[in-house]
Chain A
């Protein structure tokens, strides 16, 4: 029997029992939709953390002792850190063996719903342009210069247009450009120099609803680049030993709390997916077993007419897989459409950052989700198909 005839027969059989077909399609839909949305969410979270770590560009981040999670939260989710470390520590860190550059940063926040601030609750990163390696290289590359006073660079989601003024604490700055998206709070942040931050704080006493207070001789964190060939872990150890009041975190361990959260989310999603797969397998095996039992005579006639056991198995599998393919494609489409609309809401509710993975990775995730649905339905359909096809035609026709 030719393949196209088998397909037509399988299609007719699938259409002949709409309830069974719908149930199989729903199972495939649920598996594909859940697998694809889990893959998009988890890989989006991991990619976002990687992009944020790359954006900061530091091999080691030094923060006040016990404030690592707080600083991670500030950078990723915009919860401003109130912990400070002495500015004198910057020179002491720079003197540690293996440290090439130590660049201080101060984390600030604009006021909520105040007429003196163009943007409410905006996260502000103030850096030292003489030592910075987070924004300055990008500025040199993209804009061909450094960031001057009364100038700022924004994250990709800052709503103020480039080359226009942005006012914070009643202090007006010129927005020179916007950085690439990372999916974290850095996208909603404003990057300014330390001198601009101090000028804004001075101005805010008269121009803002509430003055901006920056503690004297204090910084929020220090970004460290190690010398070529130096081991960042050993440098971090040396910094922690030299300065007891700080914590030094190497790049792979940055955002540790968020990495753990994403790993936990993946774990929960995998457990749910396993349960969903088990349930779908049971439902499909039962459905197809009942259907195959009811069609024993018909299949017996087919075998008696010369169809081999393989043809019967292929026909039964094709029936299930055609329906599963339709359900799986619908599941992938709904998951993709739903994630594109609600990813911000879902990521913020789960407390994780999110950015879409590359096109290749997304395609692989979609293919994997669809493949999993087809594999599950195929495996479930194979059980009754093999059983019913192995029966003697004469015996099957008699019943």
Chain B
């Protein structure tokens, strides 16, 4: 469970960071006017917006991974594994369905950013499913799985009760 949570945190960082260095930045286009003068316009590409959106996926995914690592309640881990899996799926959907990348098959966003996000998102989904399965198979109260409370509650002084 804990190795899976740590791997999810690492993959979340990949999802959030890699696109920021592999999108095509912006399309610069030269235009020629009737006067003969040329101007240059700068338009952000689709992959730029995908990269921005992946920050919004990667950060909560990292947080979810950290909480999955710390959490001791079976119900919390179940919810966090489901959340991580959903965010992993969204990380895959952003460059494919929701926003997309540049249409050119040789563009850097197409050859590096998209496959990296698909691989990382796919791994997050697989790890989340594995974490969920392990959580469900593990009996309540097993090692690392104190169902009586989360990490904060489990550290409460015995005398207080």
Contact = CB atoms under 8 A, between A and B. Distances in A.
Contacts of B122: 337
A209 B37 CA distance: 9
Contacts of B106: 188, 344, 348
Contact of B111 (A188, A208, A345): A345
B103 A208 contact: no
B105 A157 contact: yes
Interface of B: 27-32, 38, 41, 103-106, 110-112, 115, 118-119, 122
A114 B119 contact: no
| Majority-rule SS of B interface residues | mixed
A115 interface: yes
Contacts of B110: 344
A114 B118 contact: no
A344 B119 contact: no
B32 A345 contact: no
B32 A342 contact: no
A345 B112 contact: yes
A344 B116 CA distance: 13
B119 A338 contact: yes
A157 B31 CA distance: 26
Interface of A: 111, 113-116, 119-120, 157, 159, 188, 208-209, 337-338, 341-342, 344-345, 348
Contacts of B112: 345
Contact of A209 (B30, B103, B105): B30
Contacts of A157: 105
B29 A341 contact: no
Nearest to B39: A115
A338 B32 CA distance: 44
A337 B119 contact: yes
A159 B111 contact: no
A113 B27 contact: yes
Residue of A115, A159, A348 with most partner-chain B CB within 10 A: A115
A74 to B, nearest CB: 15
Contact of A115 (B31, B104, B105, B115): B31
A111 B28 CA distance: 12
B32 A116 contact: yes
Nearest to B122: A337
26 contacts: A113-B27, A113-B29, A114-B29, A114-B30, A115-B32, A115-B41, A116-B31, A116-B32, A119-B104, A120-B104, A157-B105, A188-B105, A188-B106, A208-B32, A209-B30, A209-B31, A209-B38, A341-B118, A341-B119, A342-B111, A342-B115, A344-B105, A344-B110, A345-B111, A345-B112, A348-B106
B30 A115 contact: yes
Given A337-B119, A344-B111, A159 B31 contact: no
A44 to B, nearest CB: 15
A175 to B, nearest CB: 14
A115 B31 CA distance: 5
Nearest to A347: B111
